[in-house]
Structure 1
Amino acid sequence: MKHTWRWFGPIDKVTVRDAAQAGAEGIVSALHHIPTGAVWPKDEIDRRHQEIKAGGLVWDVVESVPVSEDIKTQKGDWRAHIGAWHETLRRLSQSGIRKVCYNFMPILDWTRTDLRWETRHGAKAMRFDLADFIAFDIHILRRPGAAEDYPQGLAEAAARNFSQMTDEKIAALGRNIGAGLPGSADGYSLDQLLEKLRSYHGLEAARLKSNLIDFLSEVVPVAEEVGINICAHPDDPPWPLLGLPRILSTEQDYGHMLSHVDSQVNGVTLCTGSLGARHDNDLAAFAERFASRIHFVHLRNVTRDTDSVPCSFFEDEHLEGGTDMVAVIAALLKEERRRKETGREDHRIPMRPDHGQEILDDLSRGAQPGYPAIGRLKGLAELRGIERALSHTRFGLN
């Protein structure tokens, strides 16, 4: 695999040179400062390439070109926003980009209740606490009808949690859950989040799936034309939140998407952490089934408190947690060998060590939550070790 590293631009406290020293071969980045729904300016794309090149690496993957809420709901300026997506793809292709990641999560991107939860050995990790989330939904956000969405036992546990929360804890939950895309300056106040939720009123999962297929039917022909593979990131966490449907949470969901827009450029961002929050997702089997359509990989691991769906979980070390990382990497290496034998130019699949626990000097650096320097370096080293061992001639995966 090609080892890449997410970089949020000049604001990132972990530099491109840091990534190169950690062992990365390429960079995953995006223009987070460009408003959602707008065309990415050519000079800004060129500037990002130069910033990355100055650090000694190249820009390999765009993560992400945001999909607007108008596109997801097919309201307002959704057709104009699809046109902006078309033009952005053309400009990225002209600059040499060949892979673009996106997600179709309504309103919220990845969602955590705690961005720096302390682990057993003092590292800091991101955590999703189900009772705290429900407490936010019912007692802090006060979403109409929220209490009816949860079993009585969970609602009661959330009420107990809320009764013990300090003002500081309540404010932190609002900030953490209402945060915008990673790396962006966007986010939602409670009133703004409620207003966004109203724009989805009555939109069921079947309709959102249909809107995704409509989006892909419009975008994939342009992606084919300009030679870019687009790859859908799974829901994180992979279940409905705040009464909103989520539609890329399981192997079945991806099968539906890929079969309805059956083009090689329409593919998957395999995120083992997002999908791994559900006990019923077998990540090695997922990798094998969709191998030829996997364009980009995020490797990380989570430990679930229970096997229920939904559940609480935290982001564990890369080789711990519920996902068999060795089996997943073996499936990806097998697919890379198959691609090479058939002459595919994209036989090396870009992988990045996703997220990471804050350890050692990370604890004082103040980097983007989930994206520390040393925690990711450790994860990349462990993942590279597995890949190197499995690629040995004795294992037949070289």
Structure 2
Amino acid sequence: MRQTWRWFGPKDLVSIDDMLQAGVEGVVTALHHVPTGAVWSPEEIAQRQAVLAVMKDGAPSGLKWEVVESLPVSEDIKRQTGDWKAHIANWKTSMRNLRDAGIEVICYNFMPILDWTRTDLAYRLRNGATCMRFDAIDFAAFDLFLLNRKGAAESYAPEVAKAAEARFAAMSDARKQELAGNVVFGLPGAAERMSMEDVKTHLAHYDNISATRLRSHLVDFLAEVAPLAQDIGMRLCCHPDDPPFPLLGLPRIMSTEADYKAVIEAVDIPANGITLCTGSLGARADNDLPGMMRRLGDRVHFLHLRNVALEDRALGGSFHEAAHLEGNTDMVAMIAAVLAEESRRKAEGRADWQIPMRPDHGQDILDDLKRKAQPGYPAIGRLKGLAELRGIMTALAHPGVSVAQ
């Protein structure tokens, strides 16, 4: 696996020097300041590459931009409204510009409105570390009593709604404000920040869009962009829903192995692939992550390796982001499946035999607690995760170990 690291650009509190000292081989970044739907120009791409190329003291870093995460897909494209055709044309132009700059992998998602959802961005664990968490009761309280979404009561079992009412009644005004901000936080580093009224407006636009219709819009989008990606040597990989179950009455279409298989078969070319995120997909107890890697590995173009601890194994239940080797996903089995896929690709002579991986998210530990970097993206917590993953990779790839042969 190619060991990469997500970086949010010059404003990121985790520096290029930090990445180098973590021992990463490549960088995952995006032009977060460019508005969604606009073209990523060659000049902007080159500027980001130039910034990555040097350390604080001006010495060459040796690091390169290897994976784009994310080239945003606009809400107009997802709904097929407004400027969606122009946005697709701009997306294709950006893809060409990225490929001309030597970049081959683009991660994107097709989640309506919110790119990920958590109720706590700094949930305190028993050891004093903090992590991101999804509390199902808190989320129901947000939906029912802060957002006051029309039809929200129909989305929850009576016992959940009752618990949410009690939880909301006990919340301080400060916690209510914090909860609302956490839920609509959106994508870290993105150009947009949504208010509660923005969320309500966006939700209204999805009133008549079912999961079937949204999936057809994704297929239409891929039918436009994937053939070009194939022609120019670019690999596209869709990130799963996070979390992988319905929220706010919105459709979810990339939450299971069956979802990925359907989209791959609908646009059946190698460039149309998967970002296999063990954290997002792992928030469903019925997702078999090592099995997905074995069965769909041919189309896995990018890996996010992180772990979650399911506090409730029922679909839609609470979970928090665990240390990389401590959650519900068997990370050893997962990495063994990845190494087996890489070995198969290498034997076939595939140029993309090595799959880029990043240690996704991490708990805030030690000096992370003072640095206050992007939620989920601390320096030391991710370094710890990368070291653990690297140890498994090294052990399984050793000539004396047969599992990865």
TM-score range for the pair, normalised by the shorter chain length? over 0.9
**Gapped regions of structure 2 (runs ≥ 5):** 56-60
Q: Take 2:186 and 2:345, find their aligned partners in 1: how far apart are those partners?
A: 36
Aligned to 1:47: 47
CA distance in 2 between partners of 1:202 and 1:186 (Å): 24
Give 2:289's match in structure 1, choosing from 278, 283, 286. 283
What is aligned with 2:58? none
Specify the code of the residue in structure 1 equivalent to 2:329. T
8 Å Cα contact 2:302-2:355 kept in structure 1: yes
The residue aligned with 2:199 is 193
2:140 maps to 134
Answering whether residue 358 of structure 2 is matched by residue 348 of structure 1, we say: no
Offset of 1:180 from its aligned partner? 2.6
Question: Equivalents in 1 of 2:212, 2:190: separation in Å?
Answer: 30
Show the counterpart of 1:292.
298
Structure 1: unaligned runs, 5 residues or longer: none
Aligned length: 398
Q: Is the 8 A contact 1:28 1:61 kept in 2?
A: yes
**What is the CA–CA distance in structure 2 between the aligned matches of 1:85 and 1:395, rounded to whole Å?**
44
User: Counterpart in 1 of 2:400?
Assistant: 394
Structure 1, residues 110-157: CA drift from partner, whole Å, max 9, x if none? 110000000110100000000000100010000111111111111111
Aligned residues of 1:239 and 1:246 also touching (Cα < 8 A): yes
1:1-398 correspondence runs (5 A): 1-55=1-55, 56=61, 57-396=63-402, 397=404
1:224 Cα deviation (Å)?
A: 1.1
Tell me, in whole angstroms, the C-alpha distance in 2 between the residues paired with 1:128 and 1:273. Answer: 12
Structure 1 Cα separation of the partners of residues 187 and 33 of structure 2: 11
Instruction: Give a deviation string over 1:172-196, Cα, whole Å, max 9, x none.
Output: 1111111232212422111111001
Q: How far apart are the structure 2 equivalents of 1:145 and 1:71?
A: 26
What is the Cα deviation at residue 20 of structure 1?
1.1
Distance 2:186 2:277 in 1: 19
Distance of 1:183 and 1:355 partners within structure 2: 14
Coordinate RMSD, CA, aligned: 0.8
- 1:101 corresponds to which letter in structure 2? C
Preserved contact between residue 336 and residue 349 of structure 1 (Cα < 8 Å): yes
Does the 8 A contact of 2:227 with 2:271 survive in 1?
Answer: no
Q: Normalising to structure 1: TM-score of the pair? A: 0.99
Amino acid at match of 2:33: H
Give the drift of 1:380.
0.2
Q: CA contact under 8 A between 2:72 and 2:109: conserved in structure 1? A: yes
The amino acid across from 1:345 in the alignment is A
Amino acid at match of 2:213: R
Bigger Cα displacement from structure 2, 360-369 vs 171-180: 171-180
Residue 331 of structure 1: SS of its match in structure 2? Answer: helix
Distance in 1 of aligned mates of 2:379 and 2:151:
42
Q: Percent identity?
A: 57
Q: In the aligned structure 2, how far is the partner of 1:286 from the partner of 1:182? A: 27
Amino acid at match of 1:88: S
- Deviation, structure 1 residue 3: 0.3
User: Counterpart amino acid of 1:31?
Assistant: L
The alpha carbon displacement at 1:54 in A equals: 1.2
Question: Does the CA contact (< 8 Å) of 1:89 and 1:226 recur in 2?
Answer: no
SS at match of 2:385: helix
Residue type of the partner of 2:64? V
d(CA) in 2 for partners of 1:225 and 1:33?
Answer: 28
For residues 145 and 342 of structure 1, the distance between their equivalents in structure 2, rounded to whole angstroms, comes to: 53
Tell me, yes or no, if the aligned pair for 2:117 and 2:186 is still in contact at 8 Å.
no
**Segments of 4+ moved more than 6 angstroms:** none
